[in-house]
Amino acid sequence: MLAADRPHAPAAIRIDLGAIFVSLELSKSTWLVTSLSPGAGERMSKHVVRAGDVAGLMERFAQLREKARVRTGHEFGFIVIQETGLDGFWIHRVLEREGIESYVVDPASIATSRRRRRAKTDKIDGEALVRALLAYKRGEPRVCAMVRPPSVEEEDRRRICRERQVLIIERTQHINRIKGLLFAQGITGYEPLRRDRRERFEDLRTGDGRVLAAQVRSQIDREMDRLELIIEQIKAVEDERAALIAEQAANTPAAMLLNLKGIGPEFATILYAEGLFRHFDNRRQLAAYAGLAPTPWQSGSIRQEQGVSKAGNSRLRTTMVELSWLWIRYQPDSALARWFQERVQHNGGRLKKPTIVALARKLLIALWKYATSGVVIEGAVMKAA
């Protein structure tokens, strides 16, 4: 058989490109730039740029554009993809400012080999990102999940509630450390959060009737200093949060949520800053964003549920579960609370935790409709004016 008569093997990668496709594999020390250019066939080029060197990255892009122009005689734009990670969204914003089409992808949504031991290198990951970007631009459904980057203002608005959560965790750590040191000396019942903690600390005696030893006393004093500093910082953050809510109009989502009984400033701020500020086309998108969407398992005659996906915003999901317990307490006559009680009674008082997660999904959708469209939750009680 002559070579001209042999059937052409299908190309492994689409090569009739109308742009230069680039993936950025980011790390703390280097950026690996993997590109597929028109006229270069199926071969992907790779180049390493020092991390944070935006000028070097733009220079590399200029070189890629010039090589493609020499090969084809045409000018091409860039389509860039990167994974979400420690770098945040600042690189994405730089690329968009330069007029480059940029995408940020959820790395967990990219299909990988299910072998027990699979090869993983930056080179392999960079090529996989380019292939995922090609498939996404072809319009293939569910090939990957692109992240919708928030604006600078939206991203900055989250700082208040997230910082407060970090400070609460640190406060708990110092409290437990003080109690642990005292318990080792036979002292119980001491509460470091009381305002008279210093005065009560002076009167403490060990289990065998002694005054606290000098080194233990000094360590606890320093722990109290750090605890009091964190308490002051929590107060400052809460004052900033209150000022932010006061600046907003009465018809904004955060202010509307505060009108519901059982929802305070912390829950209202988290719900708005972590989720409700976004636009969702339907309730399924909202549940998936919070990680409260169901995960079915179906194969042949086997049909079962694996629970919620937990693939979304963990802060929003945790807040909704906590709020669901409070909703049953403060809104017992609402339709959602009655639905929960009926389901629990139907199960003989069991399966409260799975049912509360289901309530969290329903409550999130109801709050979304209320905050965005003004649809009042059935049976919900408003706070007294």
- Interatomic CA distance for residues 188 and 209, integer angstroms: 13
d(CA 42, CA 245): 54
Of 309, 283, 278, 282, give the one whose Cα is nearest residue 294.
Answer: 309
The more confidently predicted of residues 211 and 249 is: 211
Domain for residue 120, yes or no? yes
Mention every residue, 6+ apart, whose C-beta is less than 8 A from residue 82: 23, 24, 25, 26, 91, 92, 102, 103, 104, 105, 129
For residue 283, what pLDDT band results from cuts at 50, 70 and 90? very high
Helix residue ranges per DSSP H, 87-158: 90-97, 122-138, 152-157
Say whether both 263 and 174 belong to one domain: no
Do the domain assignments include residue 382? Answer: no
Asked if the structure places residue 383 within a domain, the reply is: no
Task: Please count the CA atoms within 13 angstroms of the CA of 72 that sit on its side-chain side.
Answer: 20
pLDDT of residue 14: 57
Nearest to 268 by CA among 242, 287, 286: 242
Q: Looking at the structure, tell me whether residues 231 and 177 fall in a common domain.
A: yes
- 219 located within any domain: yes
Last residue of a domain, one of 149, 165, 188: 149
Cβ-count burial of 318 within 10 angstroms (0-12 exposed, 13-18 middle, 19+ buried)?
middle
Confidence tier at 4 by pLDDT (50, 70, 90): very low
> How many structural domains compose the chain?
3
Residue that finishes a domain, picked among 216, 232, 247: 247
Q: 128: domain range?
A: 3-149
Cβ-proximal residues to 255 (8 Å cutoff; 6+ apart), any chain: 245, 248, 249, 268
Q: Is residue 317 part of a domain?
A: yes
**pLDDT above 80: residue 104:** yes
Q: Of 6-20, 189-203, 255-269, 353-367, which gets the smallest average pLDDT? A: 6-20
- The confidence score (pLDDT) of residue 385 equals 59
Residues 12 and 112 in one domain: yes
264 & 284 share domain: yes
Q: Based on the domain organization, do 117 and 144 belong to the same domain?
A: yes
Say which range, 225-234, 356-365, 375-384, has the weakest mean pLDDT.
375-384
Structure tokens given for 100: 């480059």
* Residue that terminates a domain, selected from 184, 213, 247: 247
Residue 118 has a pLDDT of: 86
- Among residues 82, 45, 40, the alpha carbon closest in space to that of 60 is found at 45
User: Do 357 and 312 fall into the same domain?
Assistant: yes
Residue 36 included in any domain: yes
Between 347 and 358, whose confidence is greater? 358
Q: Is 255 helix (H, G, I), strand (E, B) or coil?
A: helix
Residue 188 has a pLDDT of 93
pLDDT band at 16 (very low <50, low <70, confident <90, very high): low
Q: Are residues 199 and 88 in the same domain?
A: no
* CATH number of the domain encompassing residue 7: 3.30.420.40
pLDDT for residue 226: 97
Q: What are the angstrom distances between the C-alpha of 290 and each of 15, 141, 143, 293?
A: 38, 21, 20, 8
Confidence at residue 244, expressed as pLDDT on a 0 to 100 scale: 85
pLDDT of residue 369: 94
Owner of token pair 């005292």: 182
Q: Which residues is 30 bridged to in the sheet?
A: 50
One domain for residues 39 and 82: yes
User: What mean pLDDT comes out for the span 303-318?
Assistant: 88
State whether 111 and 191 are in the same domain. Answer: no
Question: With bands split at pLDDT 50, 70 and 90, how would you rate the model's confidence at 268?
Answer: very high
Looking at residue 53, its amino acid is D
From residue 279, how far is each of 178, 286, 314, 334 by CA, in Å?
Answer: 45, 9, 18, 26
Under DSSP, the state recorded for 274 is I
23 located within any domain: yes
- Non-local (6+) Cβ contacts of 102 within 8 A are 79, 80, 81, 82, 92, 95, 96
Q: Is 148 left (phi over 0), alpha (psi -120 to 50) or beta?
A: beta
Contacts of 296 (CB under 8 A, 6+ apart): 303, 304, 305, 306
Residue 315 domain flag: yes
Q: Are residues 268 and 241 in the same domain?
A: no
pLDDT band at 5 (very low <50, low <70, confident <90, very high): low
Quote the mean pLDDT of the chain. Answer: 90
pLDDT at 248 over 90: no
Whether 25 and 104 share a structural domain: yes
> 23 and 39 share a domain?
yes
| Confidence at 285, pLDDT banded by 50, 70, 90 | very high
